[in-house]
Amino acid sequence: GAVVSQHPSRVICKSGTSVKIECRSLDFQATTMFWYRQFPKKSLMLMATSNEGSKATYEQGVEKDKFLINHASLTLSTLTVTSAHPEDSSFYICSVTGTSGYNEQFFGPGTRLTVL
Amino acid sequence: GQQLNQSPQSMFIQEGEDVSMNCTSSSIFNTWLWYKQDPGEGPVLLIALYKAGELTSNGRLTAQFGITRKDSFLNISASIPSDVGIYFCAGQLGSNDYKLSFGAGTTVTVRA
C-alpha cells in the first residue's frame, strides 16, 4: 500500500492564527487525496477531496474559506485552517488512493490540532 | 455520506477468543474496507473486499462482503493483546464516487 506522512504530528496555536498541515504521499503519485476530521471517540468525517491541479471538492457543511486545501503536486496536499478557533481543535487525517486504483485508501498518521 | 451501522459498539476480549463485528447499510456499496486505528494514529487498512460474496483472509482476520452488498463482517480468530484498538468498516460506491463512508467503530479492549 501507499506510504503517507503528515506534518506536523501535533500543533498548538492561539485563537485567530492560521495553521498549515501537510500530507505527503511518499511512494505514490496521488492525483487525489482526501482530508478527514475526527473528534475524540468518534468516527472519521470526510471534509474534502483534494484534486491535483484543480480546486478541492468540499463536503456539505465544510467551509471552504475556513479550510483551504492546495494540491499543488502529485505528492503533496496541504490543509490550512484559517483564523483557527477552539472549536477547530481536532484530529485531522489525510488519505491517498492506492496503486490498484481508487478502491483502497491509505491514511496518514494524523495531525492533532489544539487551538487555545 | 451514507450511514453505516456498525456493531457492537465495544467489546471485551480474552486472549485466545474469537471476535466478530459487522456493518450494515441501507444502501449498496461496491467496495467494503476494514481498518484498525490505534490511539493517536491514522487508520490502517486490514482487508479490502471488492465482490459480493467475497470472503478474504489476512492472517487471523477474515472478512466477508455480504451477498446483498449492504453488509460486511470481520472476524478475528485467536485474539492477542495487540488486537485491541478501534475497528472501522467503510463502504465505497465506486464508479467515479470514491469517497468512503465510515461506521462508528468497534472498540476492542482486553478483559482484565
pLDDT, one tens digit per residue, over B14-53 is 999 999 999 999 999 999 999 999 999 999 999 999 999 9
A1 touches chain B (CB under 8 A): yes
A27 touches chain B (CB under 8 A): no
Region B66-85 average pLDDT: 95
Residues of chain A found within 8 Å of residue B100, distances taken between Cβ atoms: 34, 44, 46, 95, 105
Q: Are the beta carbons of B35 and A107 separated by less than 8 Å?
A: yes
> Mind telling me how many Å the CA of B91 is from chain A's nearest CA?
10
* Residue recorded with cell 465505497: B92
Q: Are the beta carbons of B104 and A59 separated by less than 8 Å?
A: no
Considering only residues B17 and B94, tell me which one the structure prediction assigns the higher pLDDT: B17
Region B52-57 average pLDDT: 96
Q: Is A69 left (phi over 0), alpha (psi -120 to 50) or beta?
A: beta
Region A6-21 average pLDDT: 97
Percent of chain A at pLDDT above 90? 72
Q: Across all residues in chain B, what is the average pLDDT?
A: 92
Percent of chain A at pLDDT above 70? 95
> Mind telling me how many Å the CA of B92 is from chain A's nearest CA?
7
pLDDT at A99: 55
Considering only residues A103 and A22, tell me which one the structure prediction assigns the higher pLDDT: A22
Q: Across all residues in chain A, what is the average pLDDT?
A: 91
Query: Across the interface, which of B45, B103, B104 has its CB nearest the CB of A104?
Result: B45
Query: Across the interface, which of A91, A103, A108 has its CB nearest the CB of B50?
Result: A103
pLDDT at B32: 94
pLDDT at B72: 98
Q: Are the beta carbons of A4 and B50 separated by less than 8 Å?
A: no
Buried/exposed A2-32: b ≥16 CB within 10 Å, e otherwise: bebebeeeebebeeeeebebbbbbeebebeb
Q: What angle do CA A106, B48, B102 make, to 5 degrees?
A: 65
Rounded Cα distance, B93 and B32, in Å: 9
Residue closest to B106 by CA, chosen among B2, B11, B5:
B11
Helices then strands, each counted (H, E), chain B: 0, 11
With a cut of 80, say whether residue A101 has pLDDT above it: no
Q: Is A31 left (phi over 0), alpha (psi -120 to 50) or beta?
A: alpha
Q: Are the beta carbons of B94 and A102 separated by less than 8 Å?
A: yes
- Taking only residues 55 to 84 of chain B, the set having a beta carbon closer than 8 angstroms to any beta carbon of chain A reads none
Q: For residue B27, which amino acid is it?
A: S
Region A67-90 average pLDDT: 94
Rounded Cα distance, A50 and A33, in Å: 5
Confidence band for B2, pLDDT divided at 50, 70 and 90: low
Question: How many CB atoms lie under 10 A from the CB of residue A54?
Answer: 9
Considering only residues A44 and B110, tell me which one the structure prediction assigns the higher pLDDT: A44
